Amino acid sequence: MYIVQIASECAPVIKAGGLGDVVYGLSRELENRGHCVEIILPKYDCMRYDHIWGLHDAYRDLVVPWFGTDIRCDVFCGWVHGRLCFFIEPKSWEMFFNRGCYYGCDDDPMRFAFFSKAAMEFLLRSNKRPDVIHCHDWQTGLIPAMLFEIYKYNGMEFQRTLYTIHNFKHQGFGGTEILQATGLNRPEYYFQYDRLRDNFNPFSINFMKGGITYANHVNTVSPHHAIEAQYGNEGFGLGHTLHTNQHKYSGILNGIDYEVWNPECDRYIPHHYGLTTFEDKALNKKELRDRLLLRQSDRPLVAFIGRLDDQKGVHLVHHAIYHALARGAQFVLLGSATERGINDWFWHEKIFLNDNPDVHLELSFNEELAHLIYAGADMIVVPSNFEPCGLTQMIGLKYGTVPIVRGVGGLVNTVFDWDYDTLHEPEERNGFVFFQSDNVALESAMNRAFDVWDHAPDTFKQLAQQGMQYDFSWNHPGQAYIDLYEYIRHK
């Protein structure tokens, strides 16, 4: 099959979170299985150019219709660790992707509406006719709509779309100007409830709703989150839309790329280790402590890695730091905040805790350090308010770093409580789970982990090793996506 992924991220060249990992990891798995994959991305000024090989121009002066006139783009092409990627660079005064950031601009809906339009024009003009166009998250939600309403009539009638939702919280909103810009026009048609109109704001179109409505199939990134989003609050207002489209809606658990995330061959960690050489994990812990100026001790090291965002349960993350310290453990946090208030709060904490030899807060995005933390920590906390899939607990498991998680979304599908899980045998359990989103619940799960560490170190090691034996690679999800592509191709 010939598959084109259209997304706003692809790790490691463009990565703000799990979306980047998924686009890269899934593409690699599909290619390993003999399929042809191409990835279309914006050409941001701030992406990691050092991860692109052989960047050259692939299409000069692509004319993209925009607001009744046009914007010209250059499309570049290069390899990101073996994946063929196309980068779209618009030549216009708006400088859509030359803002020094991936997201967070006031005109994000317009920026990514443009990207979606340009990606479709690129496919059309360069005569690319993939079997499946796989779109990701709100940034590309208009693509299935544009394919169905415009490009189908311009020679793309056989292309099928899969729309994957990685995060329902960010849906992409705009007014009639988005319709005018993209050439969809006809507000009276698109502002219908069963098309693009937002379920709650009648004056707004909703990009993600467009993706759900128009795609041939829609999925989110874990089976449990698929149910939560349809029936609970986790759909952020799109539950009814999912319900009306449930015949083409499912959940597929993400995988992680074991070539990138594997303590046996991780290029960013100083000491490789595996199940049979588990003792060598301690060497990484020593290295991590030295690097972050933490004191060497026999107490456990707890970590948090992730965006500092309301989704990730920042209040509980904050509490976890102090609770770990109260129990004599150490804590390492690696996170970056986009919200000013959260950023200021954690900077305040960082300064306050600066001289404490048992804690380090690293408030930045640092891929290399993340690898060392996964390898060096004993436990990783993931106290999310909601978590569509969550990669950090799966990476933690692979590195023998025991996850302590809140039982939501994909965390339910991947972490099985040591004491209380009823669906898994003791030898299949791999972490600690709590459910309420409050300090007491978090503390009780952390205490259970600390107690095993303190009173039954062999058991703790066994638990870590049980986690390492899980296969959360792209093997199973890769097959599930291929089955889905085949299904929508022949439907």
Footprint on this chain of ligand ADP (rule: CB under 6 A): 17-19, 21, 305-307, 334-336, 365-367, 370, 389-392
Q: Record the tokens describing residue 40, joined without a space.
A: 């279309």
C-alpha distances in Å from residue 342, one per residue of 146, 309, 373: 37, 7, 22
Query: From the CB of 384, what's the least distance to ligand ADP, in Å?
Result: 8
Which residue number, 213 or 392, has a Cβ lying nearer to ligand ADP? 392
What is the distance between the alpha carbons of residues 408 and 174, in angstroms, rounded to a whole number? 30
Give the residue from 273, 270, 219, 284 showing the smallest Cα distance to 247. 219
Query: From the CB of 470, what's the least distance to ligand ADP, in Å?
Result: 16
**Residue 365 class from Cβ within 10 Å (0-12 exposed, 13-18 middle, 19+ buried)?**
middle
Whether 227 contacts 253, CB under 8 Å: no
Whether 40 contacts 122, CB under 8 Å: yes
Which residue number, 21 or 417, has a Cβ lying nearer to ligand ADP? 21
Which residue number, 323 or 371, has a Cβ lying nearer to ligand ADP? 371
CB atoms within 10 A of CB 183: 15
What is the distance between the alpha carbons of residues 117 and 95, in angstroms, rounded to a whole number? 16
Query: From the CB of 31, what's the least distance to ligand ADP, in Å?
Result: 20
Residue whose token pair is 């046009």: 70
Residue whose token pair is 């937002």: 198
Query: From the CB of 303, what's the least distance to ligand ADP, in Å?
Result: 10
What is the distance between the alpha carbons of residues 395 and 375, in angstroms, rounded to a whole number? 10
Which residue number, 17 or 400, has a Cβ lying nearer to ligand ADP? 17
Which residues, in sequence order, are bridge partners of residue 359?
331
Q: Outline where 85-141 has alpha helix (H).
A: 108-125
CB atoms within 10 A of CB 69: 7
Which residue number, 41 or 118, has a Cβ lying nearer to ligand ADP? 41
Which residue number, 17 or 263, has a Cβ lying nearer to ligand ADP? 17
E strands of 202-286, at which residues?
205-206, 217-220, 249-251
Give the residue from 107, 120, 109 showing the smallest Cα distance to 40. 120
Which residue number, 131 or 367, has a Cβ lying nearer to ligand ADP? 367
Query: From the CB of 41, what's the least distance to ligand ADP, in Å?
Result: 17
What is the distance between the alpha carbons of residues 323 and 332, in angstroms, rounded to a whole number? 13
What is the distance between the alpha carbons of residues 205 and 199, in angstroms, rounded to a whole number? 9
Which residue number, 366 or 475, has a Cβ lying nearer to ligand ADP? 366
Query: From the CB of 381, what's the least distance to ligand ADP, in Å?
Result: 12
Query: From the CB of 318, what's the least distance to ligand ADP, in Å?
Result: 16
Which residues, in sequence order, are bridge partners of residue 6?
40, 135
Which residue number, 136 or 307, has a Cβ lying nearer to ligand ADP? 307
Whether 389 contacts 365, CB under 8 Å: no
Query: From the CB of 253, what's the least distance to ligand ADP, in Å?
Result: 12
Q: Record the tokens describing residue 93, joined without a space.
A: 């005064």
Query: From the CB of 91, what's the least distance to ligand ADP, in Å?
Result: 31
Query: From the CB of 43, what's the least distance to ligand ADP, in Å?
Result: 22
Answer positive or negative: Cα dihedral of 365, 368, 370, 372: negative
Which residue number, 385 or 392, has a Cβ lying nearer to ligand ADP? 392
